[in-house]
Amino acid sequence: MIEREGQVTADRPLFTVEPWCVREPELRLDRLAQTESVFALSNGHVGMRGNLDEGEPHGMPGTYLNSFYEQRPLPHAETAYGYPEQGQTVINVTNGKVIRLLVDDEPFDVRYGRVHHHERVLDMRAGTLTRQVEWTSPADKTVKITSVRMVSLTQRAVAAICYEVEPVGDSVRIVAQSELVANEALPGGTKDPRASAILESPLVGEEHVANGTKVLLLHRTRQSGLRMAAGMSHDIDGPESTTIDTESSPDVGRLTVATRLEPGQKLRIVKYIAYGWSSQRSRPALHDQVVGALAGARRTGWDGLLREQQEFLDEFWEGADVEVEGDAEIQQAVRFSLFHVLQAGARAERRMIPAKGLTGPGYDGHAFWDTETFVLPVLTYTFPGAAADALAWRHMTLPLACERAAQLGLEGATFPWRTIRGQECSGYWPAGTAAFHVNADISDAVLRYLDATQDEQFEREIGLDILVHTARLWRSLGHHDVDGVFRIDGVTGPDEYSAVVDNNVYTNLMARRNLQAAAEMAMRHPDAADRLGVDAEEAASWRDAAASMLIPYDERLGVHPQSESFTNHARWDFAATKPDHYPLLLHYPYFDLYRKQVVKQADLVLAMHLCGDMFTDEQKARNFAYYEGLTVRDSSLSAQTQAVVAAEVGQLELAHDYLGETALVDLHDLNRNTRDGLHIAAMAGAWSGLVAGFGGMRAGDGRLRFAPRLPGGISRLAFRMLYRGNRVKVTVTSESARYELMDGPGLKLWHHGEPFTLGDEPVELPIEPIPPQPPLTQPAGREPAPRRIDPHGR
């Protein structure tokens, strides 16, 4: 029943395809690290990888607290002015998940004895991970174990586990050890620069207490000056003879339950776990905070926590669910993706949403631009409070961003390319500091949130400040040439296979929007703008720069070069590139990638999605076809944008293929690095591919527009979204779209360019078929996997 490393298992799917669950019907030790990421539970504040209760075997143990990190030096072979000297790395904090079990003195370990049944189920409506095992020990004693684990979405400091064990056949002696373990040994590193730096024993013990069924461990980090507390407390239900003992040492807290179970008897342990951390609060304060959280959780009780969790998720799904008929894998994947996007952001509360959420140590636990560009659009329209919180976090780091801009000789603010707490942590400036578009991406997320919510307080207190400081950045970063054209030279756009280029179209278009919007917002809030020192001349200079912005265009080829001169460069020799030489960055020098036409990820195509009104339909079609031939998708961020724009230009089957790639990135481990954590931004693309792609949703300036059109493999698509106090449901079939107001005052909408008003009555509008489009070509071997069209809808 268990697959061991090296066995041939490729042809058996890891998970069953079900609409609301991800089920692993048998334990696959060869995929343990991947399943730990997939089964990770998080509320955005506390995250736990889906490690087995007994701790071992594991792919990578992991428990994370949002923004709890250690500093480490960033070494440079040749240093230079402005290089960050300190990095930040998320650390594996005290593990509260561990419950070890001895069956007649034999440790329960799936690698020994016989596993008759092993099933894990992530339930996306209940918000729980359930595990059921039936196991016979080497000494021939059989037990059934059931554990249900949750990280509470309603009590942000709290996680809980309900662990049950019962004998099958003979009576057994049982010892269960429920633990807190700090400074766990982690598996060795990897040469892949994208994987995380691993820090050994990052926690220094400060206090440990054992009391009744409660244990607390307090630790601090060595360099970053952070303090954390982890606590556990228990409800235990077993035969009368059951004994309980607790103990603690600096790095281990342990509750030991010993009993004998006769057939029909059961031991049930409910373990409440709570975490707290702070850079400022004292040890007693943190101690009390965690003890308080434990008391609150225990009062709520296991059933109460389950109920709260379910209610929270019911409310979320009511406004966010996406139904897909015809492609059962996508149905499962879009819910799985929405669930993890929610888990990453729900209770982050003015801390960041990292690229991997709190599911693994990949990318050192850093947040990048993809949060604002790919994750926040989903949250903005489904769970807007989390989008506001994430942007409020950026706003909190604005002083650091202003310092960084000053250090670089620029005005305003420049946000870091990668960070945990706001300081720039990028060790390679051409793909870090130079990627200034992150600033426009943050501004764009602010504008999107404001457009969707009309949250005036946010605009006044947060939005204006961000817009003004980023507009100042753009104004100082660019210059007018002698012809009066505004140029932004020497920056890096989204595509990481080009760097330090002049007039990247994406960057310039997004900067233009940033400048224009800042000028408009300053006019709307003259007093607040005045306090920021914005006068009429400064706003005028932003408008002027925006109006004069250079957008290069190659007349000869009739396409937009991704950046100035891009289309003059040699094309990458795709025919000579072996399939195992992808991702290219691991097999070719940056030098060679940068100077050739080869695209890691949508860049000009992303500009066509986010700034679609700046391109004609014909330009979109020509550009899309041109960049399809160059884009290798070595970044997981690419497929969703290609899905959205493919759908817009009528390449519906291709859009469906790309949707599959972004939606299944982790369920199918397409990039072979799900072990390091989930690709939250790529998964957010499951929603975008369906809603912005096949739903054709675009919004801005109060105009919510749809242009729905389905590919052959999807017979029905229904999605919900929130916009300016309205909850709208859109149901699309191949012939028509039905618009329904679930909530709110009603609004004007657009259907394929035609406006209509949606009130209490649903509106159903026809969808004109389009002629089949000419096939497009991708680099050899880089075509997306075609979606199988399963007539039974499985």
Shortest Å distance, C-beta 191 to a copy of itself: 8
Is 370 annotated for ligand binding?
yes
- Piece of 12-20, 71-79, 447-455, 711-719 that binds a copy of itself (CB under 8 A): 71-79
Can you tell me which of 30, 106, 325, 489 binds a copy of itself, judged by CB under 8 A?
A: 489
Can you tell me which of 4, 12, 76, 117 binds a copy of itself, judged by CB under 8 A?
A: 76
Cα distances from 354 to residues 90, 348, 351, 368, 462, in angstroms, run 10, 10, 9, 7, 21
Shortest Å distance, C-beta 91 to a copy of itself: 18
Q: Are 305 and 150 in contact (CB under 8 A)?
A: yes
CA distance 218 to 197: 24
- Piece of 290-298, 322-330, 426-434, 453-461 that binds a copy of itself (CB under 8 A): 426-434
Nearer to a copy of itself by C-beta: 348 or 410? Answer: 410
Question: Is 434 a residue that touches a copy of itself (CB under 8 A)?
Answer: yes
Nearer to a copy of itself by C-beta: 405 or 717? Answer: 405
Question: Is 774 a residue that touches a copy of itself (CB under 8 A)?
Answer: no
CA distance 437 to 492: 8
- Piece of 68-76, 133-141, 393-401, 525-533 that binds a copy of itself (CB under 8 A): 68-76
Tokens of 360: 């693994």
Question: Is 28 a residue that touches a copy of itself (CB under 8 A)?
Answer: no
Give the number of other Cβ atoms within 10 Å of residue 587's Cβ: 11
Nearer to a copy of itself by C-beta: 167 or 365? Answer: 365
Nearer to a copy of itself by C-beta: 486 or 506? Answer: 486
Question: Is 558 a residue that touches a copy of itself (CB under 8 A)?
Answer: no
Shortest Å distance, C-beta 441 to a copy of itself: 18
According to DSSP, the β-strands at 703-706 and 747-751 are: parallel
Question: Is 565 a residue that touches a copy of itself (CB under 8 A)?
Answer: yes
Question: Is 424 a residue that touches a copy of itself (CB under 8 A)?
Answer: no
- What single DSSP character describes residue 549? B
Question: Is 491 a residue that touches a copy of itself (CB under 8 A)?
Answer: yes
According to DSSP, the β-strands at 486-487 and 479-480 are: antiparallel
Question: Is 586 a residue that touches a copy of itself (CB under 8 A)?
Answer: yes
Shortest Å distance, C-beta 75 to a copy of itself: 3
- What single DSSP character describes residue 784? P
Which residues lie across from 638 on neighbouring strands? none
CA distance 515 to 417: 20
Shortest Å distance, C-beta 585 to a copy of itself: 7
**Sequence-separated (6 or more) residues with CB below 8 Å from residue 317:** 125
CA distance 595 to 593: 6
Shortest Å distance, C-beta 364 to a copy of itself: 10
Which stretches within 397-504 are classed as H helix?
398-407, 437-453, 456-458, 464-477
Question: Is 406 a residue that touches a copy of itself (CB under 8 A)?
Answer: no
Question: Is 629 a residue that touches a copy of itself (CB under 8 A)?
Answer: no
Question: Is 555 a residue that touches a copy of itself (CB under 8 A)?
Answer: no
Which residues lie across from 723 on neighbouring strands? 726
Nearer to a copy of itself by C-beta: 345 or 494? Answer: 494
764 a catalytic residue: no
Is 619 annotated for ligand binding?
no
- Piece of 26-34, 367-375, 405-413, 604-612 that binds a copy of itself (CB under 8 A): 405-413
Question: Is 482 a residue that touches a copy of itself (CB under 8 A)?
Answer: yes
- Piece of 3-11, 584-592, 698-706, 735-743 that binds a copy of itself (CB under 8 A): 584-592
Nearer to a copy of itself by C-beta: 183 or 498? Answer: 498
Shortest Å distance, C-beta 87 to a copy of itself: 7
Question: Is 780 a residue that touches a copy of itself (CB under 8 A)?
Answer: no
Q: Which of 424, 496, 564, 628 is catalytic?
A: 496
Tokens of 110: 């799936």
**Sequence-separated (6 or more) residues with CB below 8 Å from residue 646:** 624, 652, 654, 655, 658, 693
CA distance 192 to 211: 44
CA distance 50 to 120: 10
Residues 496-525 that bind a copy of itself (CB under 8 A): 499-500, 502
Can you tell me which of 6, 8, 11, 78 binds a copy of itself, judged by CB under 8 A?
A: 78
- Closest to 116 (Cα-Cα) out of 25, 195, 36, 190: 25
Tokens of 253: 């807290």
- Closest to 516 (Cα-Cα) out of 534, 500, 540: 540
- Piece of 475-483, 600-608, 725-733, 776-784 that binds a copy of itself (CB under 8 A): 475-483
Nearer to a copy of itself by C-beta: 116 or 587? Answer: 587
Question: Is 190 a residue that touches a copy of itself (CB under 8 A)?
Answer: no
Q: Is 532 exposed, middle or buried (0-12, 13-18, 19+ CB in 10 A)?
A: middle
Shortest Å distance, C-beta 408 to a copy of itself: 5
Question: Is 100 a residue that touches a copy of itself (CB under 8 A)?
Answer: no
Nearer to a copy of itself by C-beta: 533 or 589? Answer: 589
Question: Is 487 a residue that touches a copy of itself (CB under 8 A)?
Answer: yes
Is 600 annotated for ligand binding?
yes
Can you tell me which of 6, 484, 579, 589 binds a copy of itself, judged by CB under 8 A?
A: 589
DSSP 3-state of 496: coil
Question: Is 77 a residue that touches a copy of itself (CB under 8 A)?
Answer: yes
Nearer to a copy of itself by C-beta: 393 or 594? Answer: 594
- Closest to 64 (Cα-Cα) out of 32, 31, 86, 37: 37
DSSP 3-state of 313: helix
Q: Are 290 and 283 in contact (CB under 8 A)?
A: no
Nearer to a copy of itself by C-beta: 591 or 794? Answer: 591
The DSSP string of 231-256 is EEEEEEE--TT-EEEEEEETTEEEEE
> Is there a cis peptide before residue 583, judged by omega within 30 degrees of 0?
yes
CA distance 434 to 426: 10
Is 750 annotated for ligand binding?
no
Give the number of other Cβ atoms within 10 Å of residue 140's Cβ: 12
- Type of residue found at 493: G
Question: Is 551 a residue that touches a copy of itself (CB under 8 A)?
Answer: no
**Contacts with a copy of itself: how many residues (CB under 8 A)?**
51
- Closest to 196 (Cα-Cα) out of 90, 317, 313: 90
CA distance 158 to 151: 6
Shortest Å distance, C-beta 545 to a copy of itself: 13
- Piece of 46-54, 489-497, 540-548, 686-694 that binds a copy of itself (CB under 8 A): 489-497
- How many residues in total does the chain contain? 794
H or E element, residue 70: strand 69-73
Can you tell me which of 168, 590, 629, 744 binds a copy of itself, judged by CB under 8 A?
A: 590
Residue with tokens 């605009």: 459
Shortest Å distance, C-beta 188 to a copy of itself: 17
Can you tell me which of 217, 342, 585, 604 binds a copy of itself, judged by CB under 8 A?
A: 585
CA distance 712 to 195: 38
Give the number of other Cβ atoms within 10 Å of residue 82's Cβ: 12
**Sequence-separated (6 or more) residues with CB below 8 Å from residue 635:** 496, 600, 601
- Piece of 270-278, 465-473, 561-569, 670-678 that binds a copy of itself (CB under 8 A): 561-569
Question: Is 579 a residue that touches a copy of itself (CB under 8 A)?
Answer: no
Question: Is 8 a residue that touches a copy of itself (CB under 8 A)?
Answer: no
Residue with tokens 């057994």: 172
Question: Which residues are the active-site residues?
Answer: 496
Enumerate binding residues for a copy of itself (CB under 8 A). Answer: 74-84, 87, 193, 407-410, 426-430, 433-434, 479, 481-482, 487, 489-491, 499-500, 502, 556, 564-565, 568-570, 585-592, 594-596
Give the residue numbers of the binding site for substrate.
369-370, 600-601
